[in-house]
Amino acid sequence: MGMPAQDLRYKPWRTERRLISAAVLYARFILIAVTAGITTYGVYQMLQVVRFASMTFLQGTMIFFFAVSLGWIAFAAGSVLAGASKRRDSIPADGSAAGAALTALVMPIYNEDPTRTTAALQAMGEALQKIGAERSFEIVILSDSTNADAWIRETLSVANLRAALGAIMPVWYRRRWQNIARKSGNLEDFVTRWGGRYDHMIVLDADSLIDAPTLKRLLDAMQADPKLGILQTAPQLIGARTFFARLQQFAACVYGPVITRGLAAWSGDSGNYWGHNAIIRVSAFAQYCGLPKLEGRKPFGGFVLSHDFVEAALMRRGGWKVRMATDVGGSWEESPPTLIDIAIRDRRWAQGNLQHMKIVGAAGLRFISRMHLSVGIMSYLSSPLWLVMIGIGFALAIQSRLIRPEYFSHDFQLFPTWPRFDVTLMMALFWFSMLVLLIPKMLGLMRALLSKRIRRGAGGVIGVMASFLLEVVLSALYAPILMVVQCRHVLEVFLGKDSGWKPQRRDSDGTSWIDAWRFHRRHMLLSCVTAVIVYFISPPLLAWVSPALLGLFLAIPLSRLSGSESLGRFLSRLGLLRTPEEVETPALVARREELVRAGEALPTDGLRYLARHRDARVAHIGGNLPRPPDPRGQPNPNLFTAQQKLTDARSLDEALQWLTPVERVEVAGTARLLDQLAQLPDSAQTFSI
């Protein structure tokens, strides 16, 4: 299939104009009314705190940033309130519409643990067989792995997966030699080379799971609506073992459904795509979702990082529907295990979302698509805005402390102008802002208490309420840490620092005190210095900012506890932060865990294993695409140095010790070098005279 890069300067010609449904218009009215109403009321009350006629520049700046910040949280509140108007998804569930459509279960991977990825795919393949839908699906594993040992473990695991699913469905595997454009380039390579074989593809992350009935319903929905381009599910978090992962898992279970339902309500046919656990019409994706290389230097230029939002916007620009299915269930993913892992992933997301500043103004995008891109941008700019607002508040406190008020601002003034600051009204405005901030959480709590499934899984009404209070308190402690982390990420992006591409850690061995100290020592120092300065300026002000400073001061122990599995198990035994999937494990999840436990141990040194196992060596070479030839006049130096090292080596140990990581990849992909490696003895022969 051809997949041309889209020109963001020109919009494609569309022949159809569809009317927006009354339900979507009503949801958008609620969103706009709530956002505008709360923001207007908050700004009006803020203007009453200070005298508008004599407002200083600092006060005016503070009110501006307050308006932006309040508008942001009001938008979130309006979104979840709009979700109350959404009807249930009308997705066919009888399976009669599937026909002869062929769908690829596509899993892009990058230096992942292949035991878990293949176990998930095997569990999904077996589940599809149980409902008689296996003939409509094929498994496609797209590797971008750059580590030779990870690559070799992948081919061994894929061989086992093929053997297990040989009678059920085909299993395809491809590793790219050049990681162009990261994940989006990986998918583009698949579409251009093999996309014509498939009607649809369901994109999975390495930690994704989708149950067979849900897979079938997604396929039925695409067949029932020929104009549907992308259908995104709302995945739930599962498999949390650490304290921080359990905290996020509970929050996603309770608050996630009302948030995604609201998002789907006002998005309508201009929904969003999150890059995984979604079904995509391949022909439409190829025609309209080719990503251009952005002009300029990194981090704003180059390949598009957060490709999913952009692909959804381009799909909608081409006239295809992009919808979000919030009621199908059976879609899961996993969460990073520790606070530091969240921060590392967030760095890449920050750069990707801020890069959308060069895309949000692209020609032909629907207004709602621009909103999605803007929300992604604002999700990272909000942290610096909050920090600036706090800084302006400190400046106002210093001004009132050090600068004497000017009571007579005119030469001929009979009565003095008294400084005005209504403390009572300011406190009322503070609690109003907190109430708006908690609206999504409160609505999520109400939904959880009304759900029999969640009540039973989370320990009843008392368990849900106790977990809710614990989550609110802990989130308040973690929030200032994440705010400062995001501020640093945004600063690095604007300073031109690229995030790179590192594999995400799925499992945790905990966070050591040393790692926590190295990552968070500046956060603790910032809180201590700020507390001392604020105390000398105004002790009452210190009481106001102490909740935020407390989280920063405790950043090191909080980060250390975030990776604790023992604390996670202890809370589970108490019935806290539990979810229904934890009490009644879905069959698909249980099967994956069973396969992981029963999986064969894979070699840590893949080249050594191939050198001593001829069958594995032959299967590895035969199961991969051949190494592409070098361009004329541009030989790969790593291939030559690897060959020379193997020629000079007197033993396998010596050769493996000499080879660099890049050279190991060259050896693993070249049959001739692998055979040469296999001929070396384990250790050098010694002779005595």
Residue 421 has pLDDT above 90, yes or no: no
> Do 678 and 610 touch, CB atoms closer than 8 A?
yes
Q: What is the CATH number of domain 101-294+308-336?
A: 3.90.550.10
Q: Per-residue pLDDT tens for 462-520?
A: 999 999 999 999 999 999 999 999 999 999 999 988 877 676 776 667 889 999 999 99
The bridge status of strand 200-203 relative to strand 278-281 is antiparallel
Q: Per-residue pLDDT tens for 613-647?
A: 999 999 999 999 888 888 888 889 999 999 999 99
Taking residues 315-320, what's their average pLDDT? 95
| pLDDT of amino acid 92 | 66
> Do 323 and 224 touch, CB atoms closer than 8 A?
no
- One-letter amino acid at 490 equals V
Q: Per-residue pLDDT tens for 527-584?
A: 999 999 888 877 777 877 888 899 999 999 999 999 999 999 999 999 999 999 998 9
Residue 414 has pLDDT above 80, yes or no: no
Q: Which residue has the higher pLDDT, 610 or 628?
A: 610
| From-to residues of CATH 3.90.550.10 in the chain | 101-294+308-336
| pLDDT of amino acid 401 | 67
% of the chain beyond a pLDDT of 70: 92
HSE-up of residue 505 (Cα within 13 Å, Cβ side): 16
% of the chain beyond a pLDDT of 90: 75
What is the Cα–Cα distance from 113 to 207, expressed in whole angstroms?
A: 10
Q: Which residue has the higher pLDDT, 95 or 425?
A: 425
Residue 685 has pLDDT above 80, yes or no: no
Q: Which residues pair with 278 in a beta bridge?
A: 203, 232
Q: Per-residue pLDDT tens for 122-166?
A: 999 999 999 999 999 999 999 999 999 999 999 999 999 999 999
* pLDDT band at residue 120 using 50, 70 and 90 as cut-offs: very high
> Do 230 and 312 touch, CB atoms closer than 8 A?
yes
What's the start-to-end Cα distance of the chain, in Å?
Answer: 68
| pLDDT of amino acid 87 | 85
Q: Which of 122, 107, 28 is nearest to 75 (CA)?
A: 28
What is the Cα–Cα distance from 251 to 441, expressed in whole angstroms?
A: 9
* pLDDT band at residue 650 using 50, 70 and 90 as cut-offs: very high
How many CB atoms are closer than 10 A to CB 239? 22
> How many helices (H) and strands (E) in the chain?
27, 10
- One-letter amino acid at 330 equals G
Residue 436 has pLDDT above 50, yes or no: yes
Q: Per-residue pLDDT tens for 171-229?
A: 999 999 998 999 999 999 999 999 999 999 999 999 999 999 999 999 999 999 999 99
| pLDDT of amino acid 684 | 62
Q: Per-residue pLDDT tens for 85-103?
A: 888 877 766 555 455 799 9
What is the Cα–Cα distance from 462 to 460, expressed in whole angstroms?
A: 5
Taking residues 431-457, what's their average pLDDT? 94
| pLDDT of amino acid 427 | 77
Q: Per-residue pLDDT tens for 510-538?
A: 889 999 999 999 999 999 999 998 888 77
The CA-based diameter of the chain, rounded to the nearest angstrom, is 115
Q: Which of 27, 18, 11, 19 is nearest to 267 (CA)?
A: 27
Alpha-carbon dihedral of residues 456, 459, 463, 465, nearest 10 degrees? -10
What is the Cα–Cα distance from 526 to 534, expressed in whole angstroms?
A: 12
| pLDDT of amino acid 90 | 74
The token duo for 222 is: 């695409």
Q: Per-residue pLDDT tens for 341-375?
A: 999 999 999 999 999 999 999 999 999 999 999 99
Taking residues 601-622, what's their average pLDDT? 94
SS3 for 172? Answer: strand
What is the Cα–Cα distance from 494 to 298, expressed in whole angstroms?
A: 10
| pLDDT of amino acid 52 | 57
Residues 6+ apart with CB under 8 A from 604: 149
Measuring CA to CA, how many Å separate 414 from each of 114, 317, 380, 405, 467? 82, 65, 50, 17, 61
| pLDDT of amino acid 68 | 94
Residue 431 has pLDDT above 80, yes or no: yes
Helix runs in 239-306, H state only: 243-254, 256-267, 282-288
| pLDDT of amino acid 147 | 95
Residue 413 has pLDDT above 70, yes or no: no
| pLDDT of amino acid 688 | 42
Q: Can you say whether the dihedral through the CA atoms of 353, 354, 357, 359 is positive or negative? A: negative
The bridge status of strand 331-333 relative to strand 200-203 is unpaired
The token duo for 178 is: 């050049």
Q: Per-residue pLDDT tens for 368-393?
A: 999 999 999 999 999 999 889 888 87
What is the Cα–Cα distance from 315 to 51, expressed in whole angstroms?
A: 50
| pLDDT of amino acid 94 | 57
The token duo for 483 is: 């705010």
DSSP state of 267: H
User: What is this structure's pTM?
Assistant: 0.92
